[in-house]
Amino acid sequence: MSDLLKSAESLNAMFWPRACAVLGASDNPSKIGGIPVRFFKEYGYEGDFYPINPTRDTVQGLPAVPTIEDVDGPVDMAIMAVPEALAIETAEACARKGVKVLVTLTSGFAEAGEQGAANQERLKAIAKDAGMRIVGPNCLGYFNPKNHIYATFSTSFTHGMPKIGNVGMVSQSGAFGSHCFVLGREKGIGFSYWVTTGNEVDVDVAECIAFMSQDPGTDVICAYIEGCKDGARLEEALRLAYEARKPVLIQKVGRSDVGTAAAASHTASLTGADQVYDAVFERYNAYRCLTVDELIDITHAASNGVLPQGRNVAVGSISGGAAVMMADAASDAGLDMEPLPEASQAKLKELIPFAGTRNPVDFTAMVYNDLSLITKNFDVILGEGNYDAVVGFFAFLAYSEQLSESIIEALKPIREKYPEALIIMSVTGPKDVLDKFEDAGFPCIAEPYRALEVVAALAKIEEGFKKGLPSTDDMPDAPTLKPGKYNEMEAKAILAEAGVPSAQEKLVNNADDAAAAASNIGYPVVMKIVSPDILHKTEIGGVALGLADDGAVKSAYNEIMERAKAAYPDAQIDGIMVGRMVTDGTEMILGVQSDPVFGPVVMAGLGGIFTEVLKDVTFKRAPFGKREALEMIDRLKGADVLKGARGLQKADVDAVAEAIARLSVFAAKNEAVLDSIDVNPLLVLPEGEGAVALDGLIATKE
């Protein structure tokens, strides 16, 4: 069992405690220290409960205990709601008592400056020394509706309790986590657990995902994160959820520079490059949501347990206009809307002669006159159309309770006959009426465009499960990198050994040797200054291209050397490179960066304007194999340029994928030493001829 799984198991003491306490328990049921006491009193927790307050005999009518150490018996979970000045001594008392999990609502730690950060480190040490788990600090707590524990000061329950269900929700932000809960509750989502992690001195989002991945009552995991301190833990947690075949929906904020700065000040999280998070989420089939509405809608639909097996979708609508708009939405979302078979369309025309029957199916408002037409239309669509999902548009009909009940009755035979089909209703109305649709097995999404987006999201999640996790078992070995400075030729030699080949070239130290090397290589040639201290060679005139004879080579040698010495008089100059001039190919750029959260990350993109102007690049966490490298290439907006679009010559995509994959293995093997790699450009030759690095830079960590 992995360390993450072992630590996640210890969260059972938090979610299923036999005895609980509130430290800083207040007699005022509206204060932070009083709200959890009120919840324990009012919401039916059946274990032992102790309000801790040294100045009162009773708290909200319950007997008070002066200190945690005065409690007669063990305490599995304690809530700390004391002022910041008392937090450390309170945590130490809990550790002495043997409290298993301390939920720290107190704020003023790493999010509040240097002293707060030092106090947070002290909390971390207390937890480690005592084997006591700490949630927070600066968190809003958690709840488990199955045993009526509401260890939080969120007031979101005062206007509606959670429905017990199969969605586990975890959020680094307490207030936003409460917001997500309320939206989910109003949507009809049933919860298995809800937890906020705050500053994550100990328990983090990854551990909560790992716990939920192993929980038999949780089928879907929903997460809000601002950053991550340990990328490997997050990856392992997502892998565990994947292996349990549980969809993970994540809203990761901090995509912009402003957002990243805000996240750092909010929860003191590290925020790696946003594209790297995208790459990690994609690898483990975690679906990233940009808005909270998207997060809730997809979570809600996924919690019904039906994922479409493909992208072929049908629309059945009472409105022709809405049907056209939904067809556009399907196209935008990457869904297919194949027409119904001709015989099936004929059947629908017999039912309603003026209906639109191709797909989308416009069965019009005529169905209100004969509700059996709803049953018959959907039966033909699902029974004969070979569709993976169906979206029905019924506008605002849910405002009529009587009509809604009749329509639900008409739809029930469809749900019973096609239990494995994804059927979503685009309908709006009062929540109590929509709940009746939900209870009958029809997720409701008011906005029709969003309904199609949700279908596409669920299809993508199913595709991810079918694809399987990438394997690293058969990856080749890679050379070992030593710390130090490398000039271009040294870097390219190492990269060639790692699997990124370069063109024929030679290092020379005088003009005559340059001419001899050029003659041996074959004209035309390129020449470059070679120095570990001169990284930007073109800017100083340190590169000469297309040299066609001995005289041109000798002149270029002298000119390049003079310019380099003038621009960098103190630079170490190792000589000048003479290399084969390769031009018949497509330029790409490859790179590796050491991400502070996830370690080495490989970047690939098309060169020139594609990278500089269009920012057409993709990222993936190293190491990975050729399959993932091909996926990186396919995701480039200009991928068709490599594949021979509009008469262009096909490039050797297979060779560049092999080079990208081999580069990733080299980067992962040398993670402790490597800072960055730049291969710019990598020239991808015509199909079957390979790819060569025309320039290369390796930087190691100091």
- The pLDDT, as a whole number, for residue 463 is 97
Do 51 and 147 sit in the same domain of this protein?
yes
**Residue 583 pLDDT more than 90?**
no
Q: Looking at the domain assignment, is residue 307 inside a domain?
A: no
pLDDT over 90 (residue 608): no
> Are residues 148 and 296 located together in one domain of the fold?
yes
What does the pLDDT look like over 92-132, one tens digit per residue?
Answer: 999 999 999 999 999 999 888 889 899 999 999 999 999 99
Residue 508 lies in a domain: no
Asked if residue 571 and residue 539 are part of one domain, the reply reads yes
Q: What pLDDT does 610 receive?
A: 66
Residues 556 and 642 in one domain: no
Q: Are 8 and 121 contained in the same domain?
A: yes
Domain total of the chain: 4
- Asked if 153 and 279 sit in the same domain, the reply is yes
Cα gap 515→349, rounded to integer Å: 82
Query: Is there a domain that residue 491 lies in?
Result: no
Which CATH number goes with the domain that contains 671?
A: 3.30.470.20
pLDDT score of 269: 45
- pLDDT number for residue 377: 96
pLDDT of residue 543 exceeding 70, the answer is: yes
Q: Could you tell me whether strands 286-288 and 248-252 are parallel, antiparallel, or unpaired per DSSP bridges?
A: parallel
Both 269 and 183 in one domain: the answer is yes
Distance, CA of 577 to chain centre: 44
CA distance 87 to 541: 63
The pLDDT-based confidence of 345 (bands split at 50, 70, 90) is: very high
The crossing angle, in degrees rounded to 10, of helices 431-439 and 401-417 is 20
Enter the pTM of the model.
0.91
Q: Is residue 259 part of a domain?
A: yes
Q: How many residues does the chain have?
A: 702
Q: Which residue, of 555, 578, 601, is where some domain finishes? A: 578
Q: Are the CB atoms for 634 and 643 separated by under 8 Å?
A: no
324 and 438 share one domain: yes
Domain-embedded: residue 501: no
Domain range holding 543? 514-578
Domain boundary (578, 611, 631) is at: 578
**Pick from 54-58, 201-205, 636-640: least confident:** 636-640
Measure the CA dihedral 157/163/168/173, to 10°. -20
Residue 489 lies in a domain: no
Indicate whether 399 and 341 sit together in one domain.
yes
Q: What tens digit of pLDDT does each residue of 248-280 get?
A: 999 999 765 544 444 444 444 444 578 889 999
| One domain for residues 606 and 665 | yes
Residue 16 lies in a domain: yes
| CATH of residue 458 | 3.40.50.261
Is residue 96 located within the same domain as residue 75? yes
In this structure, the answer to whether residues 599 and 682 fall within a common structural domain is: yes
DSSP string, 369-421: T-THHHHHHHHHHHHHS--SEEEEEEETGGG-HHHHHHHHHHHHHHHHH-TTS
Q: Is residue 475 part of a domain?
A: no
Tokens encoding 236: 């392992």
Q: What is the pLDDT of residue 512?
A: 96
Biggest distance spanned by C-alpha atoms of the chain: 100
Pick the closest to residue 228 from 596, 634, 692 (CA basis). Answer: 596
Of 272, 302, 332, which residue constitutes the final position of a domain? 302
Query: 237 near 244, Cβ under 8 Å?
Result: no
pLDDT at 258: 45
Q: Got the DSSP string for 174-242?
A: HHHHHHHHHHHHHHT-EEEEEEE-TT-SS--HHHHHHHHHH-TT--EEEEEES--S-HHHHHHHHHHHH
Token pair, residue 662, equals 């081999």
DSSP SS3 for 501: coil
Average pLDDT of the chain is 93
Question: pLDDT digit string (tens) for 41-89?
Answer: 999 999 999 999 999 999 999 999 999 999 999 999 999 999 999 999 9
DSSP state of 68: G
> Are 178 and 154 spatial neighbours (Cβ–Cβ below 8 Å)?
yes
Q: What is the pLDDT of residues 352-399, one digit of tens each?
A: 999 999 999 999 988 888 999 999 999 999 999 999 999 999 999 999
Interval 131-165: pLDDT, tens: 999 999 999 999 999 999 999 999 998 889 999 99
The mean per-residue pLDDT over the stretch 198-213 comes to 97
